[in-house]
Structure 1
Amino acid sequence: MYQVLLILHSWLRWFVVGAGLLAVFRAYTGWSGRRPFTKGDNAISAAFSGFMWLQVIVGLGLYFGLSPYGLKAMKVAGAMKNSTTRFFGMEHIAVMLLAAILVQVGRIIVKNTASDTLKHKKAFIYFGIGLVLVLLMIPWGIWNPYRPLFRF
């Protein structure tokens, strides 16, 4: 079960990144081009938020149940001194939850905004910050532990 969730979590990240890039791009072009907020804009923001929360659910399953780097590892003495354990046990989960909350809050704010230009602007800000946080916390191996980009 651990391997299945790990592979799912690994591949879902690309759906999150892809939907996030598209949502930020559409928000920016809509804001700068002063175009109407369309059903397509709403759909991609829903996809971005939905993929984020699906990723969070799978990640929480790993964190609380199955991963050797999750909650179990944080209970071991000296866990905060190990950079890999600290990253997955605290930094990764905290920042990714913050990113998911930002994207969801942005989606709610966008839906409750009257002006189309303002909708695009707010979507760009909230989705952009959420996407940057996601990109910072993906384990690329640059400033955090390396993990394979594609698991099989």
Structure 2
Amino acid sequence: MYNTLLALHSLTRWLVLGSMAFALFRAYRGRLLKKSFSKTDNIARIVSATAAHVQLVLGVTLYFISPIVDYFLHNFSTAVHERSIRFFGMEHITMMLIAITLVTIGSAKAKRKPADQQKFKTMAIWYTIAFVIIFLSIPWSFSPFTSRPNFRPL
């Protein structure tokens, strides 16, 4: 079960990044070109927030069954000094929870804005901050901090 969830979590990251990049593209495009907030823009907002929440559920589930996190929690005083263990036991989950909170707030605020330009601006600001946090908190294969494969087999 752990390996399957890990592979799904790894795969879903691409859905989150892609949908957020598309939502950001729509937000900046709409803001800069003074477009009206269309159905496509709203769908991009909803899909990106939903993908992020699905990823959150997978991630939190993994957190509770991960042998790395189990080691981190049961050997905190030594594990906190091991970069890779600390990353998954503390840093990754903290930053991702912050990012998903920002996506949720940004999506809700954008939805409630009365003017189209306000919707685009709100989405652009909140989603950009969340996107940067997410991107920096992913254990990329090229990361000097904690390296994991970009694609995991199921």
| Deviation at residue 143 of structure 1 after TM alignment | 3.9
SS in 1 for 2:80: helix
Q: What does residue 119 of structure 2 align with?
A: 119
- C-alpha distance in structure 1 between counterparts of 2:130 and 2:144, whole Å: 18
- C-alpha distance in structure 2 between counterparts of 1:41 and 1:143, whole Å: 36
How many residue pairs match? The answer is 151
- C-alpha distance in structure 2 between counterparts of 1:125 and 1:31, whole Å: 11
Note if contact 2:37-2:119 (Cα within 8 Å) is conserved in structure 1: yes
Q: What does residue 68 of structure 1 align with?
A: 67
Can you give the 5+ residue segments of structure 1 that lack an aligned partner in the other structure? none
Name the Cα RMSD after superposition: 1.0
| Deviation at residue 68 of structure 1 after TM alignment | 1.6
Q: What does residue 149 of structure 2 align with?
A: 148
Can you give the 5+ residue segments of structure 2 that lack an aligned partner in the other structure? none
Counterpart amino acid of 1:112?
R
SS in 2 for 1:78: helix
Counterpart amino acid of 1:126?
W
| Deviation at residue 73 of structure 1 after TM alignment | 2.2
Q: What does residue 48 of structure 2 align with?
A: 48
Percent identity of the aligned residues? 38
Q: What does residue 23 of structure 1 align with?
A: 23
Note if contact 1:74-1:86 (Cα within 8 Å) is conserved in structure 2: no
| Deviation at residue 72 of structure 1 after TM alignment | 4.2
| Deviation at residue 118 of structure 1 after TM alignment | 1.0
